[in-house]
Structure 1
Amino acid sequence: MIPGNDAAAGLLDAVAGFETAVRERDADGTERAFAALHRRFGEASGPEIAGAAPRLAALLADVPPGPRGTIAVVVGACVERGADPVPCAPYLFTELAETLADVGEFCERWEETGGGDFLDPEDDQAGPALFERVGPEAALAWLTLPQWEMACLALLGHAAVRTALSGALRHRLLRALRGVAEASGHEFKCLAYALLVLDDEPLTVLHRPTGTGFALRMDGIGDNFQLHTLLADVLVGGGHISGRAPSAEEVAVCRDRPGQVHTTGSFNLVTPTGEWVWNEGTPADIPLVDGVRLLVLDPPPYERSWPAGRFFPTMTGDLRLERVLGPEEAARLLAGCVSKDG
C-alpha cells in the first residue's frame, strides 16, 4: 500500500522520529518524519513491520485529524504484511468511532447549511468552501472515512480481531454507519459487512421439504451468496438432502481459494416467519430463535445463478455440520415456522 525504495535507515528509526515529532507537536518535523517513514516502508523487514504497527496504532490519538487516517492506512498495510493485528485493533476502532461521530456532525451541518447531494468523500476537488461550510474537523472526518474503512478492513480480515471486538463497540459502529448511510446515501458497505461477520456462530437449518434439521456452526462468511454455496456443499454434497451439490471448485472459492466460479442456487433461504433471506445480505440477517439463528430452506422458486466466491477475498470462510437433529426436534421447530405462502 505504501511504496518506498530508500532503506538507508531502518523503518523503526523513522517511526521513532515520527513519534517524537507528533508528541512535540512539531508540524514541520512531523511532515519530514512521515516522509522518511514513507520512504523506508517498502523495503522494511518483517520484524520492522511487526514492530512499527503497534507503535503507530498507539500514536493515532496524538496525530492531527488530517494525517490520522493516513497513519491508520499505514497500520493496515503493516497488518497486510504480517504484523499482528490484535494489539493494533483497539486503537483503530476507538478512532474509527470518534471519526464516525464527527461524520455524523458533518451530515447534520451539511443539511443545516443547504443540503443537496453529498460530496463524494474520495473527491480530491474538495476545497476551502467545504471546510467553511461544515467546519474543519467535520470536513476532515468525512474526507478521511474511506481511509478508515480501508485500514479497519485489513484488521477485520482476521478472526482474532473480530472475536475480540466488544459487542457494544460493534453495535455503536454499525449504528453510526447506518446513520451516515441514511443521511448521505454513502453506505460504506464493505466496512458494515465486515463488522457483521459472525464467528463460531451456531446456526440451525430446517429443510422444509423433508422435515429434516441440522445444527451447524459458521465462521468468517461475508454474505449469503457464500453461505448458500457452503450450505449446499454440507447438506447436498454431504448426502443429507437431495438437490444440486456445488463442485469442489465452487466450494473452495467460498472457503479459502482465490477467485470466483459460476454456481447455481439450490434453495430459497427463508426466516421462520416466512420472509426471504436475500443472498445479497449477510448471515447476521438470519433471526435468532431462543438464542440460535434459525434458517428454513425451501425449494427455489426459480433458477438463480451467480459467481461463487467470497465477499472478502482475504477472509477465510467455514461452515461445519455438528449434528443432524432428531426427527422430533426438527418437527417441533418446523411447527413454529410459517411457509412463504403463509
Structure 2
Amino acid sequence: MIFGKAGFGGAVADFEAAVSAQDAKRSGKAFVRLQETFGQARESELLDGGPRLAAVLEQVPPAPRAVVAVLVGACVERGADAELCAPGVLAGLRWALEQAVAFADAWAATGGGAFPAPDGGEPGPELVERAGFEAAVGWSTLSQWEMAAVAMLNHPGVRREAGSRGDALRLLGAVERASGLELKSLAHALLVLDDEPLVALHRTSGTGYLLRISGIGDNFQLHTLLADALIGGGHVEGHAPSPQEAAVCRETPGQVETVGSFDLVAPDGELIWNEGAPADIPVVDGVRLLVLDEPSYRRTWPAGRFFPGMRGNALLERALDQEETERWYAHVSPAGNTTG
C-alpha cells in the first residue's frame, strides 16, 4: 500500500480513509504515523487534522481510540476548533466510562482484589478474561480519555453545548463508588460553571454582593477572585490579593503565593472547602449563596488556575441594597455555627 502525502496531514488523510474503509492493516500503519509525525506538524495540519480525527473516532477500534482522542485534544490545545472536536471526544468519554462501570462490576464479581491502575494501552489477558475486552479497554484507557476530555472542556463554547455533562458525571460517580478510582481533573472540568450568578454575603460588614462566575476550576481560584473583587475593589475590609495573584487566576500563566482572605461557608454553616469546586456552593431560591467569614486561621497556597488552559473570572455586578441583603441573610445560620 502506498501512502499519500508525508507528514501529519498525510497521516491524518490516510488514517481517515483507512478507518472509513475498515482496512485494519492500513489504519494500523497510519495510526503509527500519526504519533510519529505529530511533533513536527504544521499549524495548518493541526487545525485541519483535529476535527477530521474527531469525526472518525467512533469508527476507530476500542484499543487505539483513546490515543487518537489524546491527539485530538493536543490539536485543540494548539488551536484546532474545540467545538468541532468535542462531540466525538465526549461521546468516546461516555463510552469509556460506561465500560469502566462494567469493568468494576465484573472485577468485583470475579474475585475482587485491588483494581489495576488505568495506565493506558491494550489490557492484559487477566483483565480481558475477568471483564471482557471492551470493558477492560474502557477501564485501562480512562486516564487518556480524561486528558482528551479536559482539553475540550477548557473551552466555554464546549461547556455550553455539552448537555451530556450530567451523564458523564453520573457515570464517573458510579466508577468511583465501585472502584475507589478518582479522576479529579475530569470531575472538576465537568463541574465548571459559566455565567453563573453568585450571592456573596460578607458577615463582618453585613453587606451582600451579586457576582457572576465563569471558568473557575476550584475554590482556591474562586477564593482569590472573590477577594480581588470585594477587598481589592474597596467594598469590604481584609487582605486583598496582589494584581499578579488575581491575574494568574484569570488568564495569566503561572502561580503566585497568596494568603487566604475568608472562610467560605454555606448558608447552613458547613465549610466550603477550597479543595472543592464552585458547584459545591448550595443553591437557594435559584442562586448560589455563599457566606464570607473572617479567616479562622492563616492559610497560604499558590494562587493560579486548576486548569491552566481555562480562563476564569468572578465579576462583581453590584452591591445588594439593605432589603435584598436582609432577605438573603434570612437563609443563613447565625455566626459561630460553622462546621466542617
- Could you state the TM-score of these two structures normalised by the residue count of structure 1? 0.94
1:270 paired to 2:265: yes
1:317 paired to 2:328: no
1:177 is matched by which residue type in structure 2?
Answer: L
1:129 is matched by which residue type in structure 2?
Answer: E
Q: How do 1:147-226 residues align onto structure 2 when only pairs under 5 Å count?
A: 147-166=144-163, 169-226=164-221
Q: How do 1:69-218 residues align onto structure 2 when only pairs under 5 Å count?
A: 69-122=66-119, 127-166=124-163, 169-218=164-213
Q: Structure 2: how far apart are the matches of 1:249 and 1:11?
A: 39
1:30 paired to 2:27: yes
How far has the Cα of 1:10 moved from its partner? 4.5
- Say which of 282, 285, 290 aligns to 2:280: 285
Q: Structure 2: how far apart are the matches of 1:96 and 1:340?
A: 44
How far has the Cα of 1:124 moved from its partner? 6.9
The 10-residue stretch of structure 1 (30-39 or 142-151) with the greater mean CA deviation from structure 2 = 30-39
2:120–2:141 contact (8 Å) kept in structure 1: no
2:118–2:142 contact (8 Å) kept in structure 1: yes
SS of residue paired to 1:313: coil
SS of residue paired to 1:14: helix
Summarize deviations over 1:208-241 as a string: whole Å, max 9, x none: 1111000111111110011111111111111101
**Unmatched 5+ stretches in structure 1:** 1-6
Summarize deviations over 1:215-273 as a string: whole Å, max 9, x none: 11111111001111111111111110111111112111111122222211111111111
Q: Structure 2: how far apart are the matches of 1:117 and 1:25?
A: 37
1:57 paired to 2:54: yes
1:264–1:305 contact (8 Å) kept in structure 2: yes
The alignment's C-alpha RMSD in Å is 1.6
How far has the Cα of 1:51 moved from its partner? 1.3
Q: Structure 2: how far apart are the matches of 1:33 and 1:260?
A: 40
Q: Structure 2: how far apart are the matches of 1:273 and 1:39?
A: 55
The 10-residue stretch of structure 1 (47-56 or 192-201) with the greater mean CA deviation from structure 2 = 47-56
Q: Structure 2: how far apart are the matches of 1:104 and 1:214?
A: 42
How far has the Cα of 1:76 moved from its partner? 0.6
Structure 1 runs, 4 residues or longer, greater than 6 Å off: none
The 10-residue stretch of structure 1 (244-253 or 57-66) with the greater mean CA deviation from structure 2 = 244-253
2:106 is matched by which residue type in structure 1?
Answer: R
Q: Structure 2: how far apart are the matches of 1:174 and 1:251?
A: 29
The 10-residue stretch of structure 1 (196-205 or 25-34) with the greater mean CA deviation from structure 2 = 25-34
How far has the Cα of 1:8 moved from its partner? 6.5
1:275–1:340 contact (8 Å) kept in structure 2: no
Question: How much identity, in percent, do the aligned residues show?
Answer: 56
1:109–1:134 contact (8 Å) kept in structure 2: yes
How far has the Cα of 1:43 moved from its partner? 2.5
